[in-house]
Amino acid sequence: AQKVTQAQTEISVVEKEDVTLDCVYETRDTTYYLFWYKQPPSGELVFLIRRNSFDEQNEISGRYSWNFQKSTSSFNFTITASQVVDSAVYFCALSEAFQGGKLIFGQGTELSVKP
Amino acid sequence: GAVVSQHPSWVICKSGTSVKIECRSLDFQATTMFWYRQFPKQSLMLMATSNEGSKATYEQGVEKDKFLINHASLTLSTLTVTSAHPEDSSFYICSASAGVLYEQYFGPGTRLTVT
């Protein structure tokens, strides 16, 4: 069965600290997609990244970086030099290639960055 | 990226009444639309998948007679909560995709409060 686990419910850091949000997934498919979304207090989901199962290259986008490791079924997200504006709930999600595009979300990690 | 709108952004209704939420893809044709529900401090749960011109496919545990979904055109899907009750109060989010292998774009969400 497909499942996404974000074990960290809440994380609190001080501005400029680095923070890593963990994501572990389960799937029996060999072809799948992994996502990270940010949900600020307004509620609107903000797309951050999509990674397919055949691309294990790490990705960096500004202060954001992602580490995809199939061997441990993990897709972790790191924010470097965190800022107050990074405060939000972050969701990791999984979509299997032949499940009609359905997204299975993790429980979310609420990140609070304090000044 | 593509734009998806939802209307209304928030609605308050009395118990027993029905409420219709619209989801529109503004600049692309959405062959597939998804409806999610999110309770406070919880993750997004997929309610149903709708393909243009077909009946919606509901997830297990979602009452199809209570949550009526219509996807009559390539740019519009509607979710009607019939005979709403306070336990239906939630944040409803739609997403739209040009096809099952394509990116999903999320609407801003509709906050429903049933009194």
Q: From chain A, pick out residues whose CB is under 8 angstroms from the CB of B101.
A: 97, 101
Does the distance separating the beta carbons of B1 and A101 come in below 8 Å? no
Sign of CA dihedral A88, B2, B79, B67: negative
pLDDT digits (tens, 9 = 90+) for B89-107: 999 999 998 876 677 899 9
To the nearest whole Å, the CA of A53 is away from the closest chain B CA by: 14
Query: With contacts defined as CB-CB under 8 Å, which chain B residues touch A1?
Result: none
Task: Report residue A100's pLDDT band, with 50, 70 and 90 as the boundaries.
Answer: confident
List chain B residues with CB under 8 Å of A44: 106-109
Which among B31, B32, B34, B38 is the top mutation candidate for probing chain A, defined by the most A β-carbons within 10 Å of its own β-carbon?
Answer: B38
CB B79 within 8 A of CB B92: yes
Q: Do A101 and B34 touch (CB under 8 A)?
A: yes
- In angstroms, the separation between the Cα of residue A70 and the nearest Cα of chain B is 21
Query: Does B90 contact A at CB distance below 8 Å?
Result: no
Local structure of A113: helix, strand or coil: strand
pLDDT at B31 over 80: yes
Q: What is the pLDDT, as a whole number, of residue B54?
A: 85
Cis peptide upstream of residue B8 (ω within 30 degrees of 0): yes
Tell me, yes or no, if B91 comes closer than 8 A to chain A by beta carbon.
yes
- Residue B93: list chain A partners with CB under 8 A: 43, 45
Phi-psi region of B2 (alpha: psi -120 to 50; beta: other; left: phi over 0): beta
**Residue type at A41?**
P
Question: Cβ contact (<8 Å) for A104 and B34?
Answer: no
Tens-digit pLDDT profile for residues B57-79: 999 999 999 999 998 899 999 99
